[in-house]
Structure 1
Amino acid sequence: MSTTARERRRDIVELAHTTGLASVDELSRRFEVTPSTIRRDLAELTRQGEIARTYGGAMPLGAPGAEPTFRQRNREAGVAKAEIARYARTLVRDGETLLFDAGSSVAALAREARSGLVATVATTSIAVIQQLADSDGIHLECLGGTLRPASQGFVGPLAEAALERMTFDRVFLGADGVLASGHVVEADLVQTRLKELMCRQSERVYVLADGSKLGRATFHARAELPDGWTLVTDATATPEALAAFEAAGVDVVVAPAG
């Protein structure tokens, strides 16, 4: 089958909606192109917001199990994330070395921290870099690696190698979901591996998660959190959800509204 890139990408979107999942190998055989060509197609369609990437393939946006893009996450629970970010900003002190994970809640914290804070911030997040690049008081360390378009964050061996050479006073983690068992839920294992390393290199661990993410296990990859971690959430969290974390001995903070 010979198709142009535009025709092939149109057909990929249609297949993602009709089958729910199309793997790279399946698409490569179907369109008689190399797997690397298909990966470029998927990356471009993800950038355009046409599909959501999964491990090995693609799914339509909004499908069960599909990973939302950073742009989608950024539009969700805006008030809650702003409240969480304002509280999280009060936790940091001048002179500290901080680690900012990828994620829209952590990017909101970066917006709060860009003025008035004198600190070193290391990050895997493009959004955090954009927020802090011109901040006079912040020494910014950008951790490289492989870019995940959906999260707009860097992962993989290069990011891990950089982290192993640093230690931090505090790490602020984002999450697709967070469980009272002491686990952060993410779309793939490369993310959870990186988050566990972030925790090991940090003295204090904070998970920033609005109420909709508490107890949510949309994906199967999980990062284990260390003892003594803190959950920072907002007033949309239900009493039942909060009680589960408190019963597990988690330090829970509900950010004040307004």
Structure 2
Amino acid sequence: MARHVVNDIAVHQAVGVIYGMAGLGKTFAVRTTVAALPPVGKRKVPVCAISFPSRPTMRLVADLLLQELSGHQPSRNNNRFTLTGALVKELARQPRLLVVDEAQRLSEECIDLLRYLHDHDETRFGLLYVGGNGCWEVLKSQPMLRSRIWRRQEFTALPPDEVPTVMRGYHPMYADADDDLLSYVDERFAHGIWRNWALFSSTAALLAQRTGRTRIDMEIVNNTFALHGGDDG
């Protein structure tokens, strides 16, 4: 679904949001999809991706965005009106996709700036917000933005009954593993979170390689748990 959201936002220059708790693969999914965006007409869609430290100011957002678009550090002497005018000029040059990561950190003033830029008659870009815990709550609290969001997808933890099938396609060492073993790893360690599965898999694969095995077993599982400080069960 992330592919459809990103493609729709890029092609139609609309506003969208992808959100969910940390570790569910949002950023990876967006980066992978963005890298594979099909061309619009004969042109590949340029992508500008930005993220911020905790609670950025409107000035920081404007400076960082202008630097990413123009390739130059904005002058510290520019006031907000000069910066906004320069951003409109850059965003009017060609159609593009703007990806704003860690969107839950944005203040109302920052959100208003991005909304203004997207609404401007001269600009031509899709605007995709990506964020973790609290992202949707932050964005939907702004009525003028909420009404403009055309695509919305929430990432959730992998359901337990889907874990065995999905993991067999994720790594070859899981291909012949029993359902019960994969479910055990998920219940005790991963909890349906992709980041946890990636951590477990990297260590388990290393242990399997060291012992000349091509699939996981309970010994590898327990040793992997031990190297990560024990399971969480």
Q: TM-score range by the shorter chain?
A: 0.3 to 0.5
Please say which structure displays the higher CA radius of gyration.
2
| More helix as a share of residues | 2
Q: TM-score, normalised by structure 2?
A: 0.36
Structure with the greater relative contact order (CA < 8 A, sep ≥ 6): 1 or 2?
Answer: 2
Q: Is the strand fraction higher in 1 or 2?
A: 1
Q: What's the TM-score, normalizing by structure 1?
A: 0.33
